[in-house]
Structure 1
């Protein structure tokens, strides 16, 4: 199995596109760094941060009297609770960017990691059929299941390596641009209460939880690639759902609670750590993990059934 995975890994890095995607990821991190540095230079440090926080609390409480969508109301209540906690515990908010705030902001770039992983995942099976190399694989004394498993593990390793690059490069660039590590406490709003967390652990946990999102999108692309033998179809569908799936689910969730059964309502587990609010009120991490496992099993069964049973002689 190790040799199969190593061979698949070598195939990926023999392609020019792999290095192009890596270069794009680093370039995007650089662009966000330059933008953050510019905006930080324009930010004025307040002499009385407590007064500013009190003003923000008053403004948020006033806005709660207005008719607003549920998710905006929840975000406003979260802001009030965190700011009140700051005043009670004398915790000064970030006024200037630091390495941790920059790394936190770059967590949204996981979307690009997902995009690049989808491209690799969509082609790792379909390309074998396109180039006719699948016959060379199948004549070996190795089961089709092992071949497919090795390809899937390679995809996951590739996605994980991209996430590591994102985290490490963001940290190093943030250290260069903003210097020092600054405040290392993060305030999260979890289950209706403000929780103080270690910033380093919070960021590591956030990036690790976001690997679930990347893994499930890659699994979907992998399944489509194995079922339809078309990398373009797998990329097209998966990329569309990557960018639109969560947005469409959020819109549906405003009207219907059954939106919580959608894959895209559950893959981002950071919604339970204070990074953002759950798509549907009342959802729990246990529920989301269960739904992820259900979709994962469905995707894997479809991929393995079609890959192991279908005739490839033609």
Structure 2
């Protein structure tokens, strides 16, 4: 019997033999390098700006905004917590994180995990559907291996591509940030408001947590694309639906945040930064709640994928 490891190896060989795969990896390189050059040479430096005075002015504006037109729910909490963090910076001489620094650049680079999600969705959408499109699914299924192993090998290969892309993104951002900005200011902590007080966190752990939190969103969207690709045997449909939901889902949830039932929607739970920042989207939501909701969605996606692939007739 063909082992699962051999199947995964074969899927990775097919994936990395494609020119398109390396084009996507190359685009990650291009985006990170472009961001570094822009931050270094195009953005204005703040060397001559009194950051403490800036934060005092910002606090005054936030207080006035809350007083004149009180924000509701999440916005009100965010403003008050931002004031507390600014005050803590001033009192403890901890300057704000700047884009023109190693840590600031790496934090900015984590925003490009959306590009990793986009590329991985493309891979997930095509890794099963393309077998049906090219007619190679018949040759694949006549091998002495179960359909479950074939499906699992394709899914794991997709996840490994996402991890490889994230590794490229984080490693390159550290390299470019070090070369362009050096290591000045790397001793400063990251500040977060938690349990009614400002807490200092290690900056490296904060960046790792950002990548980890963003990976949850990638995992769910890739699993959704993988399911659609398997169910409908169409990579274009899987890409279209997944990208539409990825870009519009969070905005729709934000618009409906005043309704309690919105917390059961997938996209209300994929952003785990809402818990590290102490500002959940809907009052009463917890990290445990989101993990349970996401687990239910994940099981539904995987079950549908497995059942339909098992029953799919490819004889015709």
Q: Which range, TM-score by smaller chain?
A: over 0.9
CA contact (8 A) 2:105 2:177 kept: yes
- Tell me the alpha carbon deviations over residues 56-111 of structure 1, each in whole angstroms, 9 at most, x when there is no partner: 22221111112235433232212101011123323233457211011001111111
| Counterpart selection for 1:4 from 4, 7, 10 | 7
CA contact (8 A) 1:124 1:151 kept: yes
How many residue pairs match? The answer is: 311
Matches within 5 A, 1:153-168: 153-168=156-171
Instruction: Give the Cα separation in 2 of the matches to 1:4 and 1:79.
Output: 50
TM-score in terms of structure 1 length:
0.94
1:307 aligns with 2:309: yes
| Partner SS state of residue 75, structure 2 | helix
CA contact (8 A) 1:45 1:95 kept: no
The residue aligned with 2:57 is 55
191 and 118 in structure 1: CA distance in 2 versus 1, 3 angstrom threshold: farther
Q: CA deviation at 1:230?
A: 0.7
The residue aligned with 1:139 is 142
The residue aligned with 1:252 is 256
Q: CA deviation at 1:278?
A: 2.5
Matches within 5 A, 1:184-199: 184=187, 185-199=189-203
| Partner SS state of residue 191, structure 2 | strand
CA contact (8 A) 1:12 1:18 kept: yes
296 and 181 in structure 1: CA distance in 2 versus 1, 3 angstrom threshold: farther
Q: CA deviation at 1:273?
A: 1.8
Q: CA deviation at 1:180?
A: 1.4
Matches within 5 A, 1:206-285: 206-253=210-257, 255-274=258-277, 277-285=279-287
39 and 78 in structure 1: CA distance in 2 versus 1, 3 angstrom threshold: farther
The residue aligned with 1:297 is 299
CA contact (8 A) 1:113 1:162 kept: yes
Q: CA deviation at 1:55?
A: 2.4
1:89 aligns with 2:92: yes
Instruction: Give the Cα separation in 2 of the matches to 1:190 and 1:36.
Output: 30
Worse-matched range after superposition: 230-239 or 263-272 = 263-272
Instruction: Give the Cα separation in 2 of the matches to 1:106 and 1:83.
Output: 23
1:118 aligns with 2:121: yes
CA contact (8 A) 2:231 2:309 kept: yes
CA contact (8 A) 1:43 1:95 kept: no
Unmatched 5+ stretches in structure 1:
none
Instruction: Give the Cα separation in 2 of the matches to 1:220 and 1:19.
Output: 24
Shift >6 Å, 4+ stretches: none
Instruction: Give the Cα separation in 2 of the matches to 1:137 and 1:22.
Output: 27
What value does the CA root-mean-square deviation take over the aligned residues? 1.7
The residue aligned with 1:127 is 130
The residue aligned with 1:104 is 107
TM-score in terms of structure 2 length:
0.93
309 and 173 in structure 1: CA distance in 2 versus 1, 3 angstrom threshold: same
Instruction: Give the Cα separation in 2 of the matches to 1:112 and 1:9.
Output: 20
Q: CA deviation at 1:46?
A: 4.3
Q: CA deviation at 1:143?
A: 0.6
